[in-house]
Amino acid sequence: MIQPGTVLNNRFRIEELIGSGGMSLIFRGIDMKKHRTVAIKMLREQFTGDPVFIARFRREGQAVAGLSHPNIVKIYSVCQDKDVYYLVLELVEGNDLKQILHSRAKPFEPREIYAIVAQVCDAVNYAHHKSIIHRDIKPHNIIMSPDGLVKVTDFGIARAASEATVTHTGSIMGSVHYLSPEQARGELADHRSDIYSLGVLLYEIATGKLPFEGESPISVALQKIQQDPVPPGKANSAAAVPEALEQVILKAMNRSPQRRYQSALELKDDLREACFNNRLLYIDEPEIDKLEDTLDRKELTGLLGTNGRGGLTQETGQEELMGNTASKSNAGAATKTKTWRARLVKLVLGVILFCGIAVGGLALGRAISNWFYSPPEEIEAPSVVGRTEEAAVQILEDLGLIGSILENRVARDNIASGSVAIQDPAAFTPVRPGSTIHLTLSRGPATYPAPSLLDETQQSALILLHNLGLDIGNVETINDSETPEGFIMGQTPEAGTPLLPGDTVDIIVSLGPVVKYVTVQSFVGMPVADAQAAARGIGVEFGYTSYEMSWSYPKDTIINQDPAGSTQAPEGTPINIVVSLGPGPD
């Protein structure tokens, strides 16, 4: 294992181990170039021998490095030093949410829950818009600073870990509790898988318990696939979970992705209403028709029968109308059942009749209204995106619409400055004649100031440029005594120069100090005192000195050296010598 004091890539010094996970070790470190404290997340040795895993780890790390959000731990760089693969991260002072849960005597209150999870939802929603799925939302990956700021870490890295989970099940025991059912089945995760994990997180924060427990990861995964969780209100009698909050949690944890919240913002909105007002904004549609839920199809078919009279014969109807008490007495309980069925059929028919009258009344009212008032026919809004301002306004006027130019402009790479970039309502939306179409004009392609790449590695520079839609151009390498090997010492254009998407930045990468080779002088056969004086005269230093018995050289005479005499070695290389202990030649 890497020891404190180790310096990686001549820049990042390891200070102390501050955490560990199934796939990595986390160290506090110092960025000696930027003079800042960082977190260094290093892959465990068992993962460094898999080239597929390493390639995916790099790819995911570079993608996530483009995320910039106050609730996401920033990745500064994706690095490699020989067989050590590591990420350089923002260091957040605080504890992870799992530690905080263990330290609390009781679950969080609803308002406390919202203050935490709302920030997590913001982070997850931002990542989803950037096409990054976390895949491993859990309290261990959520860090809370003392002032209440929440930071989510490990974005996208869980995908790289998925290939290794089969043989390292002991390492993912903590994660399986938070995986979605589709992940447990080995299916592809999407943004709704993160919604499920947020639901599990809410469940644990609100109750202090996990929704599913088991002796092994497989038993927990099977429960997720086959069962719904115990409602949070029944999971812990000491936790007062409001009804609306319970519904939010259960909807987020629905086994069907289609029936969960479809975005982290939907979950956040409902969570706010549940925690502060005990109500919901997003209410599920019923899975089956309410009337069908009340009356079973088979029972209703049996009641109505094939003759459309609820299964009652003409004779039975006559007996009821005539009040034949003898027949009723002989029928006993069967007659009561028929009477109940008859009443139920009458109730159903009455409801149907009432609905028919209501619908007919509405249709009649609408017909009368249309007779006296005929609303203007709607037209489709034309598409004017890409048109010049004058052309767009003229097209709208020709159709009896009004074009309104908004003050703010937006950058569009494929739309010339002054042409329409956005229209509202959108094209082909039905509008009435005389409606106003709001137009936002383009200011042309977006420009970005060239970032400073000095003292960055080439890989870090590539990440910075790709985040801005830029790329590395020509790469020149030269020797430099002040810039460590592998780090950038120059760039063209300079930092701050406006650039368009697709532009390139040329860089100069240091090869380190110039290495001058010299011919090594031979000191073999010289007395040590004479050799030391001669070495000082030519600027050579002796390194390690060892002693051996020798019958060929007198005592205190040099009998061997490394590097050997007359060989080439970098200037300044110390010379290790072997000195005779005697007795020397007879």
Whether 580 and 550 have beta carbons less than 8 Å apart is answered as: yes
Cα–Cα distances in angstroms (integers) from residue 488 to residues 179, 462, 502, 537, in the given order: 42, 11, 21, 38
Instruction: Tell me the H-state helices in 373-431.
Output: 389-398
Helix residue ranges per DSSP H, 38-77: 51-64
503 in catalytic set: no
* Active-site entry in 31, 122, 136, 270: 136
Helix (H, G, I), strand (E, B) or coil at 403: strand
The residues that bridge with 41 in the sheet, in sequence order, are 26, 87
Report the run of H or E that residue 473 belongs to, with start and end. strand 471-478
Q: Strand 542-550 relative to strand 575-583: parallel, antiparallel, unpaired?
A: parallel
Alpha-carbon distances of 140 from 210, 211, 249, 404, 415, rounded to whole Å: 14, 17, 19, 51, 45
Other CB atoms within a 10 A radius of the CB of residue 471 amount to: 13
Q: CA-to-CA distance for 561 and 577, rounded, in angstroms?
A: 4
> What is the Cα–Cα distance from 41 to 56, expressed in whole angstroms?
16
> CA 78 to CA 66: how far, in whole Å?
12
Inter-residue contact 503 to 488 (CB < 8 Å): no
Active centre residues (catalytic)? 136
